[in-house]
Amino acid sequence: MTKSRRSAGLGRLARPESLLSRTEQVLREAIARGEFAGNRLPAASDLAEQLGVSRETVRLAQDSLQREGLLVKYRRKGTLLQPPALTLRKSHAPSSLLGYLQAGYPSRNRQDEAVTRTISGLMLQGATREAGRAGCRLLVHHASHTEMDSAVGQVTREAPLRGVIFASFGEEKLVRRTLGLGLPVVLLDHDLHLPSISTVREDSQMGAALAVAHLARLGHRRIAYAHWHLADLNPWRVVGYRKGLSEARLPRRRAWELSAEITEPGAVVLVDKLLALRPVPTALICFNNTLARLAIEGLRRRGARVPDDVSVLGIGGEEVAGLACAQADWFAMGRYAVTLLLRAASARRGAEPEHRLFPYEIRPGPSAGSPGKGRK
């Protein structure tokens, strides 16, 4: 418990940006603003002197931008802008189109693929509403996270864009390349510490901690947590669960952290693992509402009473009648992502990035109650 208590208050550290990364970004922004006369970059020595860096740093930055398709080097001619950079540099008339790229994460079963469908749908609805209110329109593309590279190319070729929202995606190299095209970027339902990038996501850590606190107030002391087997896509919830236990001065057991596929068979395995624990936890927090619903069905098939034997609480997602859960406002998140994108697109110089966490709130329900007699 000492180790858990010591680390509970630590947050994620922002990775310091290297001199090379900063040089790349300065050059990208200068290309987007059309600051290089004749579509030609100055000599590396001149750029190095202007930026206060070494010629080697400038050379490496140019090599990176060349790999991204923004520059091309010719012997005796120097370093010139490539057509993609020229096209976007010249297109400074405000566009009413906003790119919206929704990433998917295919799995071996369809229900796993649908884990974020409700949430992504709400975020898209919010973004569409705010874009329409601002006189803009979303150009929406859905793609597997492994195919986002080609999706970015397709959406930027279709029409001039004012900016791009990446939903549930934050691969650094692709985001940097999109910035290099002169387009502001906002990450929705993801986080990435890069300059000029604003992020909007729900406070998953807070949501899990609130769930623990709610169950603790009901009198539970043995609280288990079931996370999605692809939990690397959301590492904050398990941190919040552990923090919540620490703050409530409740015991923590590694065996109480259970992994599950969000399917009926996955819930069967989850329930079997839960009921095999000794002593059996009196409460179960699930990664999302879908898993909570499936877990309740599995518990009842095994003859376990909810909430008398086991209380169940979900963290966000679909609306499930009678389910106690923590919910965030994903619709508002989509709206706010558009607000930040338009703010960045309207700024003459790079807008100060904002990192917005949307809070959760507890919605009590009959699936979570006080522990049954003799089970506290």
Cα(27)–Cα(63) distance, integer angstroms: 12
Cα(158)–Cα(139) distance, integer angstroms: 9
376 and 221 in contact (C-beta within 8 Å)? yes
Assign 106 a pLDDT band (cuts: 50, 70, 90): low
Three-state DSSP at 233 gives: helix
325 and 290 in contact (C-beta within 8 Å)? no
Cα(354)–Cα(338) distance, integer angstroms: 13
Question: CATH class for domain 19-89?
Answer: mainly alpha
| Domain spans of the chain, in order of start | 19-89, 94-203+330-359, 204-328
Smallest CA-to-CA distance from 113 within 157, 156, 144, 67 is with: 144
What single-letter DSSP state applies at residue 373? T
User: What does the block give as tokens for 163?
Assistant: 């900016």
pLDDT at residue 275 greater than cutoff 60: yes
pLDDT for the residue numbered 147: 82
Among all chains, which residue has been given the structure tokens 């290309």? Answer: 31
pLDDT for the residue numbered 31: 74
Cis peptide before 307 (omega within 30 of 0): yes
64 and 24 in contact (C-beta within 8 Å)? yes
Cα(252)–Cα(264) distance, integer angstroms: 27
| Strands annotated E in 118-251 | 137-144, 163-167, 185-188, 197-202, 223-228
Smallest CA-to-CA distance from 356 within 373, 374, 372, 341 is with: 341
Instruction: Name residue 363's beta-bridge partners.
Output: 325
Assign 13 a pLDDT band (cuts: 50, 70, 90): very low
Most confident of 94-103, 143-152, 194-203, 312-321: 312-321
Pick the CATH number of 94-203+330-359 from 3.40.50.720, 3.30.390.30, 1.10.1040.10, 3.40.50.2300: 3.40.50.2300
| 293-to-88, 166, 296 alpha-carbon distances in Å | 48, 29, 5
User: What does the block give as tokens for 294?
Assistant: 């499936």
71 and 65 in contact (C-beta within 8 Å)? yes
Cα(311)–Cα(323) distance, integer angstroms: 10
Percentage of residues of the chain with pLDDT beyond 70? 82
Cα(359)–Cα(42) distance, integer angstroms: 48
Report the amino acid identity of residue 45: S
Smallest CA-to-CA distance from 224 within 242, 236, 207, 239 is with: 242
pLDDT at residue 33 greater than cutoff 90: no
Q: Per-residue pLDDT averaged across 66-95, rounded?
A: 63
- Please report the sign of the dihedral spanned by the C-alpha atoms of residue 297, residue 298, residue 303, residue 307: negative
List CB contacts of 281: < 8 A, sequence separation 6 or more: 222, 223, 224, 256, 274, 310
Whether 204-328 and 94-203+330-359 are alike in CATH topology: the answer is yes
333 and 358 in contact (C-beta within 8 Å)? yes
Q: What is the pTM of this model?
A: 0.71
* Interval 229-260: pLDDT, tens: 876 667 889 999 999 999 999 999 999 999 99
pLDDT for the residue numbered 88: 47
Report the amino acid identity of residue 158: E
User: What does the block give as tokens for 95?
Assistant: 């566009």
pLDDT at residue 135 greater than cutoff 70: yes
Among all chains, which residue has been given the structure tokens 């929406």? Answer: 140
User: What does the block give as tokens for 165?
Assistant: 């929202």
Statement: 204-328 belongs to CATH 3.40.50.2300: yes
pLDDT for the residue numbered 256: 98
Q: pLDDT higher for 217 or 6?
A: 217
Report the amino acid identity of residue 314: G
Most confident of 159-168, 188-197, 284-293, 364-373: 284-293
Q: pLDDT higher for 121 or 242?
A: 242
Q: Per-residue pLDDT averaged across 154-177, rounded?
A: 85
List CB contacts of 138: < 8 A, sequence separation 6 or more: 97, 98, 99, 100, 124, 127, 128, 131
